[in-house]
Amino acid sequence: MRITQGCFSFLPDLNDEQINKQVEYILGKEWAVSLEYTDDPHPRNTYWEMWGHPMFDLRDAKGVMMELDECRKAHPESYIRIQAFDNTRGFETVMMSFIVNRPEVEPTFHMQRTDVDGRSQRYAWDARR
Amino acid sequence: MVEGTVQTVDLAAEYEASGVREVLEELDRELIGLAPVKQRIRETAALLLVDKARREMGLSQETPTLHMSFTGNPGTGKTTVARMMAGLLHRLGYVRKGHLVSVTRDDLVGQYIGHTAPKTKEVLKRAMGGVLFIDEAYYLYKPDNERDYGQEAIEILLQVMENNRDDLVVIMAGYADRMDRFFAANPGFRSRIAHHIDFPDYSDDELLRISQSMLEGQSYVFDPEAEAAMAEYIAMRRMQPHFANARSIRNALDRVRLRQANRLFSESKGPLDAMALSTITAADVRASRVFQGGLDVDRMREAAE
């Protein structure tokens, strides 16, 4: 199942040139860029693994693209996302987040029904390969 | 001829349009002396301009090797020229952002195993799209310690200098003789560096002009006696240890301003006008220890020898 998360999620996957332009936009806004990866794309899985430190003082997108290449080499079968963090007072939050790598075969979501308290049901989803 | 390429080129128009003229004029205006350096930079700019035109015509595809080495004694303007070079390369479109990242061994080499590579890469990422200026580059290589982590930084640097020629330009700087030894021991660098620029020492006359322009920048002036004293100071300072050209002059002027402020504070009784506040007198200059034969520590060392 194709996972949609973050910005541009209903567009076809961005190619490297387009990613490069988005990163240039992020740097132009003076946001910090970071890479994160995971094999569990569940929407409740907020905290992905960090790939290196957030990059606070880059001037050119090439630095991010180099890290992305390294990350793809190390985790080709993972979801990788680029995040832009605005550290100005009052925001201090992620301003942009988009997926830049997805596995060849994406996991599906499995729904688990549990009966509780008589006829009530609880639902839970988990990503399954 | 490939279809769609430009057929003729007007170099003069290119020169005007690229904004190279402003950089070269700034170079002439802001840097006193350094004639051979300016000449080399003008030649380099011409080469790059022609090369750019050739690429637009489809005559060559390769990005020329732009890595440089600046050799010369301390305080001869290597960092300043590197910053202008970054601007020049940016205007000619050889680097995308044109910023200068200035580093030394400490910024590149780690303290324990596995620390160096991330550190060097961090610096390289920051320098992407600009110019990486490695001051005293020879400290990267320590031949007496074969397990020194500097070697690791050198390997990463060489790899990036080769593979990312479109993305950044590396300028290595340091004393001429030690740079020569460094290049002899690391032939990889020698072959990847196309432009070697040598920075000569300033003459006494040039240093005096530099001191005047430095003072001018801070809205101070020498009175005529002070100017003579400064000329004498420069000649004497050169003979003493740790002489660092323009940097020594800047430090000397900082101390001169200190003494001037002190003098005004202790001597003046009535109100002072702007002229009094900004004039440096001979007494301010002559109070320097250089006129008594240098710093006490240096004299003591000489006496001991």
pLDDT digits (tens, 9 = 90+) for B124-171: 999 999 999 999 999 998 888 878 899 899 999 999 998 888 889 999
Q: Smallest CA–CA separation between A60 and chain B, in Å?
A: 5
For residue A76, pLDDT beyond 90: yes
How large is the average pLDDT for residues B26-52? 87
**In this structure, are B186 and B295 located in the same domain?**
no
A59/B118 CB distance under 8 A: no
Report if residue A63 sits inside a domain: yes
User: What pLDDT score does B4 carry?
Assistant: 53
User: What pLDDT score does A97 carry?
Assistant: 95
How large is the average pLDDT for residues B191-198? 88
Closest CA to B290 of B243, B227, B224: B243
Which residue in chain B is spatially nearest to A65 when comparing CA positions? B125
Interface with chain A: mutation pick from B96, B102, B119, B125, highest number of A CBs within 10 Å: B125
**In this structure, are B71 and B187 located in the same domain?**
yes
A62/B126 CB distance under 8 A: no
Complex prediction ipTM: 0.81
User: What pLDDT score does B291 carry?
Assistant: 83
Q: Is the Cβ of A55 closer than 8 Å to some Cβ of chain B?
A: yes
For residue B1, pLDDT beyond 60: no
Question: At residue A28, what are phi and psi to the nearest 5 degrees?
Answer: -60, -30
Look up residue A2 and give its two tokens. Answer: 């194709």
Q: Is the Cβ of B117 closer than 8 Å to some Cβ of chain A?
A: no
Last residue of a domain, one of B199, B221, B249: B199
For residue B109, pLDDT beyond 80: yes
Residue of higher predicted confidence among B116 and B301: B116
B129/A60 CB distance under 8 A: yes
Q: Smallest CA–CA separation between A55 and chain B, in Å?
A: 9
Instruction: Tell me the pLDDT band of A7, cut-offs 50, 70 and 90.
Output: very high
Interface with chain A: mutation pick from B128, B167, B168, highest number of A CBs within 10 Å: B128
Report if residue B167 sits inside a domain: yes
User: What pLDDT score does B131 carry?
Assistant: 95
For residue A32, what is the domain's CATH number? 3.30.190.10
**In this structure, are B123 and B78 located in the same domain?**
yes
User: What pLDDT score does B296 carry?
Assistant: 62
Contacts with B214 (C-beta within 8 Å, 6 or more apart), sequence order: B249, B250, B253
Report if residue A3 sits inside a domain: no
Percent of the residues in chain A that have a pLDDT greater than 70, as a whole number: 100
**What residue numbers bound the domain in which A64 lies?**
16-128
Tell me which chain B residues have a C-beta less than 8 angstroms from the C-beta of A62: 96, 125, 128-129, 164, 167
**What residue numbers bound the domain in which B132 lies?**
64-199
User: What pLDDT score does A71 carry?
Assistant: 96
Q: Smallest CA–CA separation between A33 and chain B, in Å?
A: 12
Last residue of a domain, one of B180, B199, B218: B199
Dist CA B257 CA B249 (whole Å): 12
pLDDT digits (tens, 9 = 90+) for A12-69: 999 999 999 999 999 999 999 999 999 999 988 999 999 999 999 899 999 999 999 9
Q: How far apart are the first and last CA of chain B?
A: 73
Interface with chain B: mutation pick from A34, A57, A58, A62, highest number of B CBs within 10 Å: A62
A58/B126 CB distance under 8 A: yes
User: What pLDDT score does B301 carry?
Assistant: 65
**In this structure, are B180 and B232 located in the same domain?**
no
Which residue in chain A is spatially nearest to B160 when comparing CA positions? A66
Query: Per the structure, how many domains does chain B have?
Result: 2
Q: Cα torsion at B250, B255, B259, B264 (round to 10°)? A: 50
pTM for this predicted structure: 0.83
User: What pLDDT score does B179 carry?
Assistant: 92
**In this structure, are B150 and B208 located in the same domain?**
no
For residue B123, what is the domain's CATH number? 3.40.50.300
Mean pLDDT of chain B: 87
